[in-house]
Structure 1
Amino acid sequence: MNVLRAVVCVCLLVTAGAVAAQTTSECPSLPASSGLQWQSLVQRDFILCKATAADGREVLSLTLSARNPELPLNRALRQEKGGFAGETLYWYQPDLGGQKPPGYDTRRITVVKFDKNRFAQIALYAGDKSELGSLQTLAQGMNLTPSAVAAGR
């Protein structure tokens, strides 16, 4: 039940980002060829960046925070090895309490700890395996902005 609450909280946070969307340089740059656009929400203790495709679909969300999201990442759900901002990581299928909604097979989530008070939570919502690979490659090539790093977010 706690896992389900965590997933609901993340979804609510993402929805809040859509309501208060704005463009910011706090989010990592996206290659022009990706066709993605950031919407962001910047608060004192976190930055939420949500990438949407040309059709309006959310395909990637990135939360930079000074707080550990304490998201349980079940080893049984571990999938691909990857990277983000120079850090090595594993992608996981999200734990939705046994539910497998449409598109579940190509959803991924991970948390990266940079140091004591810097975390990134990344979620991918790919439409198919090919898009999943593209999004993982995109995430691996991202660099955090100097202002986000300096702010300890």
Structure 2
Amino acid sequence: MKTIYPLSVLVLSALLTVPGMVKAQQAPVRCPVLPASSGLQWEERANTGFLACKARTEDDSKSVNLLLTSRDPDLRLSRSRRAEQGVFSGQPLHWYVPELAGQDESAVASKRIAVVELGKGQYAQIWIDAKSPEALAELQTLAGKLDVSTGTAYLVSGN
């Protein structure tokens, strides 16, 4: 069965692969603060109405992708793909196993996606890509501790 991705997933994927993304240490960052021990570095892309953040290891073995937007991402997540419960920036959520066209279940076993409404007109779409169940659990715990208040303030102010 062919999976059709919502526009927000495609936009996030495209934005996070665009050359010239701003590295965290080169400019003021609106992405959440990462613990130094995480081994992750943010890449950031911002425009009117959205902030795209990608935290990844140097070897790309794991990453957390975050899209903060002032528009509902309208991502339809199938209840049958629901996995763990969690928290993101103080908001409860359910993690879902993504449906990736052409990928078998083993290829998506350590990947998760979630959408959270942070406030009126503020949404977060979170995508975790890990290589092992242990790395997945680590990144889910990390996501639960992230504070996106700087990013949501950016959505409101545009600065």
Same fold (TM over 0.5): yes
State the partner residue of 1:15. Answer: 17
Quick check: 1:78–1:93 contact (8 Å CA) kept in 2? yes
Q: 1:76/1:98 Cα in 2 relative to 1: closer, same or farther (>3 Å)?
A: farther
Rounded Cα–Cα distance in structure 2 between residues aligned with 1:12 and 1:89: 25
State the partner residue of 2:137. Answer: 133
Unmatched 5+ stretches in structure 1: none
1:56-67 equivalence runs, <5 A: 56-57=60-61, 59-67=63-71
Q: Which range moves more in the overlay, 4-13 or 132-141?
A: 4-13
TM-score in terms of structure 1 length: 0.87
Per-residue CA deviations over 1:9-67 (Å, capped at 9, x if unaligned) read: 44223223x54333242000000000100000011111100011031445110010001
Letter in structure 2 aligned against 1:13: L
1:134-153 equivalence runs, <5 A: 134-146=138-150, 148-152=151-155
Number of equivalenced pairs: 151
- The answer to whether structure 1 residue 49 and structure 2 residue 68 are counterparts is no
Q: 1:97/1:103 Cα in 2 relative to 1: closer, same or farther (>3 Å)?
A: closer
Q: What is the aligned-residue RMSD (CA, Å)?
A: 2.2
Cα drift, residue 123 of structure 1:
0.1
Q: 1:130/1:58 Cα in 2 relative to 1: closer, same or farther (>3 Å)?
A: closer
Quick check: 1:103–1:126 contact (8 Å CA) kept in 2? no
TM-score in terms of structure 2 length: 0.84
- The answer to whether structure 1 residue 82 and structure 2 residue 83 are counterparts is no
Rounded Cα–Cα distance in structure 1 between residues aligned with 2:134 and 2:149: 28
Rounded Cα–Cα distance in structure 2 between residues aligned with 1:72 and 1:101: 19
SS at match of 1:54: coil
SS at match of 1:3: coil
Aligned match of 1:123 in 123, 127, 133? Answer: 127
State the partner residue of 1:4. Answer: 5
Q: Which range moves more in the overlay, 53-62 or 121-130?
A: 53-62
